[in-house]
Structure formats: structure tokens, C-alpha cells
Amino acid sequence: MFIRLGSLIVRRKKSVFAIFIAAILVMGGVGSLAFAKLDSGGYSDPKSDSAKAAKYISDTFHIKDPAALLIVRSQTVMSDPTSIADAQILESSLVKENGVAKTLSYWSAGGAPSLLSTDKKAAYIFIYAKASDPLKAKDLGKILTTKYEGQYKSFHVYAGGISVFNYAISTKISKDLAVAESISIPLTFILLTFVFGGLVASAMPLVVGVSAILGAFFFIYLITLFTGVSIFALNLITGMGLGLGIDYALLIVNRFREEIHHGKSVEDAVIRTVSTAGKTVFYSGITVIITLASLMFFPQMFLKSFGYAGVTVVSMAILGALIPLPAILAMLGHRIDKIVVRRSAITPKEDGRWADTARFVMRRPVTVVLLSLITLGIIAAPIKSVVFSQVDSRVMPASAPVAITAVEMAKSFPGQEGNPIEFIIPNGATMGTQVLDFANEVAKVPGVVHVNASEVSGSTVRFTAIHSMGARTPAAEKMINAIRALPHPQGLLVGGVAADYADSQKGIAKTLPFALGWIVVGVLILLFLFTGSLILPIKAVLLNVLSLAAMMGAMTWIFVEGHMMWLVGKFTVTGTIDTSMVILVAVVTFGLSMDYEVFLLSRIKEEHDAGKSNVEAVATGLQRSARIITAAALLLAIVFAAFLTSGVTSIKTLGFGVAFAILVDATLVRALLVPALMRLFGERNWWAPAWMKRFSIEH
């Protein structure tokens, strides 16, 4: 198949290139429409009890959550005539804003004490949007932030709530992404010139990267027409697109040069490159796709979005590496080596320091394995302190207005009035004193400030409780679990932000075994088909688990315990790490590690199949692939490390986690552990029952 593909590309190279340019222009134009349709939420489990409670609240009681809130603070008490007059002017202005349905404040609620601060100098104004879903009220967040936040008459106004947070984080991520790209792209191009040895060759990753990124934006736009997609997916698309562009272009161009320098014609070199390196790219990419597709198993739109983004960007990177890149190489021919910067990078060496490293490692395999495992164990040790949570306003820089609002809210108000716990009891009106007795027990749960009076619609009873801690924290999850463990009326549904958070964490925990099973089984099968071995796939999965453990330990030490801010930049230490982001980083790094595993095993197998001994096959395979793997890992690490410039902690986590994991994997694991274990297993590396061998792929 790959030989036929290479032959077709060689014959139709100009047509292939022209179609590629046209397709990229169309995809880029349409894909740009996706940006305005991306969401910043998506952490909820839509099938949970809290989601069912939200539907009851909306459909039965016709109550909507506020899309935003304002805290107004004055030098005088809120009952002062000046404060009352200014509040009336403020509310009158708010209800005239586009998208605002109504407001509810301390004053319009008749001086409700729950909406007044403890010092009586600040009060809440809740703003309800005309949109049925507060998450869709993006323009409202912008209006409140730009027009009302800050000094307003005698008040200092703090803006918060879901629409304000969404606007703040969307704006921040977009700006941070531009900064990260302005750093990573020029730096990457400089290093690409050094790695490829010439200016012409160093431009080749752009062919794959641009096609991957713009193609992914196009398909993400199509997906947004049917379901929600998180704005965080942009970071994965750009990072993976540039990274895989580098990975695959390095592999393809290096093999093309190798074939040219062995005396093949340009046409034959392209065909040979597609049939060898192209095949490796294809199966490597499929491995990454299988891994990233596991994110679609999770119920949260946030994680599903990364599944959509990952699968599309990797698919487009494969197409870019297998079709337009070989066509360009066929047109360039020997000119691929024009404008030389570093001549030693032009001609691949048959033997060198990587082969020497492999032979050194294989002379002392037991020592290398033990020292490597001890090192990984030390790095992984902090994992015992990991605590999981979800993002809230503290994910933003402490100086961000939305974070300052959250601090003001916690300092001035006794409870989370904007985030109540919701209780829905279908048929509760027929249960006598059961509902009241249950409400009294809820009031005794640690963390609950007070329980509000109930209301009835038909036979359904609803009441709320105000709690004192952040809604998306382990403490809130513990409180919700304690409430649900109480003896309660039949059919009880517990909702609200804290319950939504608890249900989301539970949904992730329930789905995780299925996602892990999909990854492990899929990777084992694919690697067996590729290598014809049962041993090598099992070793690859186990080594990747070790890399992930080290990555998790490092992330815990930095983001949970608050170390090394001089490296990653300042962030608010919460003592926790975002569950969804940990899963994302783990899945992405597992996929990229398998990418490098396939690169390495492909070349080792090729040398072994050519008749070399296990030791020489490993040495030669490492010599011919380790330079590519190390260079690709370094460049990919730079792409993701640029995300450390972001002020959003979740993006810092993504950048550090991926960069750290792939550097550890490309050095400690691929350069040391893999050759050492290959030496210890010897020819048993390639073992599989004879009846299974016929299912493997011929190379």
C-alpha cells in the first residue's frame, strides 16, 4: 500500500501539491470560524444527579442560575441613602444591557441579610441572562468587566460569576496562546535549522504542522455545529500540530536523505521513504489516535473536546506527512540540502555516539536498569501527596479581577450565596415531615451555613442550603458525600455547583478504568501487529507507566506543593491539581511516548530483520533513530514549555507536564532503559507464538 502511495505521489507531485495548497486555504478560512464558538466550561457530567436536579429547577420551578454577579462595596453601610440611590441607578443601568433579563440585589430583595456582607458595607447584585444557558452569555461577561468593574459612583464594583469567568479565561488564554507562539515558533525554527542542517529542510515541519493545525481547526468547527467544544482544545491543537509536524518531518526527511546518500534516484528515494518512514509515521500516528480517542469516553465536554482535537490534529499530521511532504521532497530532490547551516546534520552517520551509547548500556544492562528505576522512583515519590480538584477562579493569576472578586466574596460574605446546594424531592409534598426532618439534618453537616425555606411546585419540593467553602474543592466534595449519606426522602436529587463538582469527579473515576483498558488493549494490539512480538508491546506499556509516574510526581511537587515558581512562573497554590488536566496530560504524554517507541522499534526491527544480531540491531537502530527522537523531543518540549508563559495554571500544568514527560521519556527511557532491557531479553524480545506471527505486518 505504501509503495503504491509513494509511486502515485512521485507521478502526480505537482497536482498533489496544488491540491494541498487549495485544501489548506479552504480549511484555514472555514476553521477560523470555530474560535467564536468554543466554550470555557464543560466540567459537568450531563447524566448525573446534579444535572437532573438542574433540569427540575429549570423546568418545574422555572428558576435559572445567575449568569453573573456583582459585589458592590462602599465606604458607608449599604442602608445609607447614598448607597441606596447609587444601587438603584446601577441596577437600572444593568437591566437595560443587551442580554440581561433581570437583576436581584440586596435592595430589590427587601434587604435580604444573606446578600449583605458581614461588615454591612458590601452587597450582592445577581444578574440573570436572557439566554437559557448562563454559559452562553459570553457577551454579558465582557459588558460587566469592561463597563461596570472598578469605580462606579460611590461603589467599588467587583464582577464575578460564570459569564465573567468565561470571558476572563477565554480572553486570557487567547492572549497567552499568542505570546507562547511568538516565543516557540521563532525559537523552534532556529533549532530546526540546526537539527536539519539547512534552511530548506528546516521548513519541512511547517508543511506537516500547518496542515495539521488548520485541518484540525476545520474539523473542530464542524464538530461545534453539533456539540460543545472547550476553548482549551486550541492549546492542544497548536502544541500537537507543531510537535507532530517536527516529529514526522524529521523522520521523513532524515530517511529521504539517507536513501539519496545511498545512491538512489529522487523518485526511488521518495518511494522508499514512504514505504519505510511513511509506514512508521502511519502506525505511530494510529497509536497516538487510539490513545487520545480514550478522552471521548469521559462524560465531561472538557475532556471530550481534547479527544476531538487530538484525533483530528494527529490524523491531519499523518496526512500531511504522507502526502504533501513526499510530493515536496520529490520536487526538491537534492535541493533539500540547499543553504547548509550545519553540514554534519546533512549526512546520516552509519555509526556514532548513539550506537556507542547503546553498546555501553548493553554491556552493563542490570546496573543501568537499576539506576534508571531508582531515579524514576525518586522523581515519582511526591505523587503520594497528590490531591485532585477542578478549576475555579484561582486558576487565573492572583492579580486578575475575577480572582480578586473571589477573594472579596470569601472575605466579606459568610456563605456561597451564588452557589447554593439545591435539593429536589419529587413527590416531597406527600411525605409529611420527612422533608423537614431531612433539612434539619442537612443543617448539621459541617460546612453548611444555613438552610433556606422550601417551596413547592405541584408535588415536588425544593429547598437550598448555603455552604462556606469553595464549590469546586475536595472539601465541598466531602460535604456533598456526607449529605448524600444521610437518611433521605426517596427520589432525592442533590444539585448545585458543589454537587456538580462531586458528580464530575465521580464520573471521571467511573470512566477511567474503561479509558485505560481501551488504551492498553489498543496499544498492545497495534504494537504486536507492527513488531510481531508479544514482549515488546508489554515492555513499552510498562515503561510508559513509569514515565507517567515520574511526570505525576514532578507535577505534584510543583503544582500541589508550590515549588519551582522561578521556573514555571507564579501561580496560586491551592494544594490541589485539576483532575481533568492531569488526565489530559497523562493521555497526551502516553501517546507521544508511544510515538517515539514506534520510531525506535521500527528501526531496530528493520535492522534485526536484515539479519543483524539483537545487540547490533539495537545499536544501529538507536544510532539511526535516537538523534531524531531526541531532537524531536527537545523541539516538542520547547513548543509545550512555551505554555509556561501563560497566566492560567491549567495551561502551565499542560505545558510543564508534557514537556517534562517527553524529555524524560526520550532520554532516560528510550536512550537507557530500552536498550538495557533489549539486551537482557535478547532474542526473546521478538517472541510470539507461531500461530500469532501470521497476523503481524510484513516490513
For domain 398-503, which architecture applies?
A: 2-Layer Sandwich (3.30)
Is 90 exceeded by the pLDDT of residue 379?
yes
- Would you say 448 and 479 are in contact if contact means Cβ atoms under 8 Å apart? yes
CATH class label, 349-397+510-699: mainly alpha
Name the least confident of 118-122, 485-489, 509-513, 628-632: 628-632
The answer to whether 239 and 309 have CB atoms below 8 angstroms apart is no
Q: Can you state the angle between helices 579-609 and 279-293, rounded to 10 degrees?
A: 150
pLDDT of 326 over the 60 cut: yes
Query: Phi and psi at residue 12, in whole multiples of 5°?
Result: -115, 35
CA-to-CA distance for 647 and 636, rounded, in angstroms?
21
Contact between 228 and 300 under an 8 Å Cβ cutoff? The reply is no
Residue 484 CA to its chain's centroid (Å): 31
> Residues 649-677: pLDDT tens digits?
988 998 999 999 989 988 888 888 988 99
Question: Lowest mean pLDDT: which of 188-197, 281-290, 358-367?
Answer: 188-197
Express each pLDDT in 114-164 by its tens digit. 888 889 999 999 998 887 666 666 688 889 999 999 998 999 999 988 888
**447 φ/ψ angles, rounded to the nearest 5 degrees:** 105, -20
Q: Looking at residue 380, what is its pLDDT?
A: 95
* Residues in the chain, total: 699
The mean pLDDT of 631-641, rounded to a whole number, is: 84
Q: What is the pLDDT of residue 657?
A: 93
- Percentage of the chain surpassing pLDDT 90? 32
Whether 236 contacts 309, CB under 8 Å: yes
Domain ranges of the chain: 1-37+197-348, 60-166, 349-397+510-699, 398-503
Arithmetic mean of pLDDT, 301-318: 92
CATH number of 60-166: 3.30.70
CATH number of 1-37+197-348, picked from 3.30.1330.10, 1.10.1060.10, 3.40.50.300, 1.20.1640.10: 1.20.1640.10
Same fold, 1-37+197-348 and 349-397+510-699: yes
Percent of the chain with pLDDT over 70: 96
Of 262-266, 450-454, 530-534, 583-587, the range with the highest mean pLDDT is: 583-587
| 103: its cell numbers | 437583576
